[in-house]
Amino acid sequence: MFYLKTFNNSISIGEKIFAYVSVIVCVFLAIYVSINTGKALFAPSASNPEIVFPFCQGNYQKMVYTNTTYFNQKRALFGY
């Protein structure tokens, strides 16, 4: 925008068209991303309450991946 305001009289018509199209595309994408982010932020879809870690792999979304000794102390002592 600064470039267009400053050098409007000295740039070619092709350069002006490209600059205006670029600005319009950027504004459109900014509005699109803002709307979709707002939907996810202010009106989230109903999620499964069992999923505690949604960004993990499917096998580990409901339970954190830990060492097996956390669940069975005998494995730590005797290795079975």
Give this prediction's pTM.
0.55
d(CA 58, CA 48): 13
Residue 40 is predicted with a pLDDT of: 82
Task: For residue 21, give both structure tokens.
Answer: 């199209």
Query: What tens digit of pLDDT does each residue of 7-32 get?
Result: 888 999 999 999 999 999 999 999 99
Q: Which residues of 12-26 are buried (b: 16+ CB within 10 A; e: fewer)?
A: eeeeeeebeeeeeee
pLDDT at 79 over 60: no
Does residue 25 sit in helix, strand or coil?
Answer: helix
pLDDT at 78 over 80: no
Place of tokens 């509005």: 31
Which alpha helices (DSSP H) does the chain contain, by range? 2-6, 13-42, 73-78
Query: What tens digit of pLDDT does each residue of 40-58 get?
Result: 888 877 778 888 888 877 8
The average pLDDT across 54-79 equals 70
